Structure 1
Amino acid sequence: MRAVRDHVRVVVQGRGRRVRRAGLVGLLWVCAEVAVTVGVVVLLLVVHQVWWTNRQALAAAHERVGQLEREWIGLPPVLPPTPSTSSAPSPPSASSDPPAVVDPSHDPDPASPAPVAPKPRPRESAYGVLRIPRLGVVVPIAQGVDKRTVLDKGYAGHYAGTAQPGAQGNFALAGHRNTHGEPFRYINRLRAGDEVLVDVRGKRYTYVVGKVLAETTERDTGVIGPVPRSAVKPEYGYSAPGAYITLTTCTPEYTSKYRLVVWGTLKS
């Protein structure tokens, strides 16, 4: 009788181990599925951020360049096809934030009987085109350096308070190095003598690259001063007044820890 009880006890213990082992395997399987799912989601987010946003911003930026060029030569803009069913237009959104500077692309209507005050143009509205032939860059220029309304559109943003294109002082621009069109991704490849072209309403200003600052802090405001000179590395920059252009972007790639700066001077 005792032998029978011992035999039964052994059998029950064996089943318990198998149940525990099956439960552990099931738990590991669930964890593996969760890890794979999270990995796929992260991968899709990376693809969207690095690849898809580039395509969207680049296409929209090139379309805006085309619109500007058509405006400058007096051609009507190319409008998207209208839907077959008409609908009431949405009221325009009002902006209480006036532009930092007067829009240089505005001309009063010659048919008006009296001068008409120009309408404030939104800060994110493009007014010029930046071209860097060596890099194949062609992007709109807009006022301000706000990420959502300017830089994430693939535009070059004009720092508020800096000079206008072609004027004395420092015409300073910012642009993304990675994602959202990444117009300034390869400005580290620019060398002394390379040209940077700025078009505003059909007038072209040609700047010639003179100096490059490979790395400085994000708070080094001296690089966009009227006479650009690094406040962190004073050996980099200029000492005499002139007509300058400054291109700034983040560095190293895929980070925003430091700033990369390229300077040029207006070609006479």
Structure 2
Amino acid sequence: MPRLFARLPVSLHGPALKALIALAVLCSFTALILLTVFFNRTESTGHLWWKETKEIPFSERRPYLVACVGSALAAVTFLIGALELVVTRASQRRADQRRRDEAMTALWRQEQEVAEAHQRHQMEQAEAQRRWELSPAGQAARQAEAAEAQWRREVEYAEAQRRHQLEIAQRAEREAGEARLRWEQSTAGQAALAYGRGDRYFSIELLVDGDLAHHLNDIAKAGWLEESVGGRRHKKTAIQRPLDDGSHEVMRETFEYRTYLFRRNV
């Protein structure tokens, strides 16, 4: 039998196989029914006592036999076609699997060749590098690299030392500026600045406390003579301190300030 169904496109093999199986089953049932009708040799007519049975001649049953044979041949044909499609699909699967295996084998061999070539290239490079390092030019290059690395370390160390010294100088300058500002804001500093400007008189308001005599002594050392004492000024402060019971205790304190006038001691 020619390979008729195997020539169908691969996408139609599945639907064609289902259709052939369905047609084979249908033709088989049809052949079975026709065969049953063919073997029925008698025919009854009427009912009860008027019922009459007669034999059907072979000439009348022959068409059922021919149709049965045709249906059976059609069922066999459809089954052969289905079997052909099954064999074709199995062959295609085996061919596809074989092609995939061959492709995977070829790819694996190609990867192995690439890996071996890469390994040989690395070994050749390592060997060339080793020969170059053992040569006079390689040794000179290594010495030059070592000298350059040493020079870079020295430059980095010198730069770090320079930055450290700069930070120390900046910190010392900042501390000196802060000390200068504190001195200028102090009593002795204000008196010295006023004397340095050439002022004839110098006045300052001082807090009357235990350090008053010390402040007056500093002003006298700066070159000033006490001229007079001005008015007094009182400054009151209140500080709230929380207690354990949740209330607050108010602490009040009064500070006394006096204004002193000094004359330049020439």
Q: Which has the higher contact order (CA 8 A, sep 6+)?
A: 1
Report which of the two has the higher share of helix: 2
TM-score, reference length from structure 2: 0.30
Larger radius of gyration: 2
